[in-house]
Amino acid sequence: MNVQVIKIGGNIIDNPVELEKFLTDFSKIEGNKFLVHGGGKSATKMAESIGLVPQMIEGRRITDAAMLDVVVMIYAGQINKEIVAKLQSKDNNAIGFSGADGNLIQSTKRNHPTIDYGFVGDVKQVNTTLLKTLLENGIVPVFCAITHDKNGQLLNTNADTIASELAIALSEVFDVTLTYCFEKQGVLQDSEDDSSVITEINEVLYKELKEQKVIHSGMIPKLDNCFNSLSRGVQKIKIAHHSMLQNPDISHTTITL
């Protein structure tokens, strides 16, 4: 049985027109599917409106207690429920989840040797049994970027990582395709040239592109997750514009080992 895990990028979430197009395309996908979203720009905007100063290191958000309140409200609340409502309008029986719901994704608070990321979680365990039950009952799960530690603490968790860990867990029982959808056609050789898509990236090329600073910032954790997923059983991984969901011939990036 095939399963598609699709992660939607923040620039699509922040654009009502593009979000509507994406959700229309996503709703037409037949078979088993998961949607994962973040919402970093919306969280940043909300944080700044109440006087908080967001901090990022290498594309990852520092999450103190005040910022955690913001991301839970925006990710698990506003964005998640708006997406679920829109999918329901398109006849997809979606249910929104954080990792705490049904103990679906359990994490541990990140322990970095030099950086205090605050209330940031690294995924420890995925409840594959419950995920399988959801699919068997025709549910379209929509995951936000919030997990928990099984001790009552919510944790901000990178949405790319959540998509990767869900795909890895599901690959134990399904053939899984993981797709990272965002506003570009794929990974670009030149960030200013949308036509400069790198159609295939393996680990050797990835290392070279990082050294050349072609790949940097938020794309690094995304690609790290891709290679981790492939090494742990995920069958196919793509980075693409969301229009590829209904037009697979559109230029995109395929990730290979």
**What is the DSSP-derived secondary structure letter of residue 197?**
B
* DSSP structure string for 50-106: TT---EEETTEEEB-HHHHHHHIIIIIIIIHHHHHHHHHHTT--EEEE-TTGGG-EE
Q: Is 111 annotated as a binding residue?
A: no
Output b/e per residue, 181-217; b: 16+ Cβ within 10 A. Answer: bbebbbbbeeeeeeeebbeebeeeebeebeeeebbee
Q: Quick check: 93 and 163 in contact, CB under 8 A? A: no
Q: Is 60 annotated as a binding residue?
A: no
Q: Is 40 annotated as a binding residue?
A: yes
Q: Is 103 annotated as a binding residue?
A: no
Q: Pick out the residues of the known binding site for substrate.
A: 39-40, 61, 156
Q: Pick out the residues of the known binding site.
A: 39-40, 61, 156
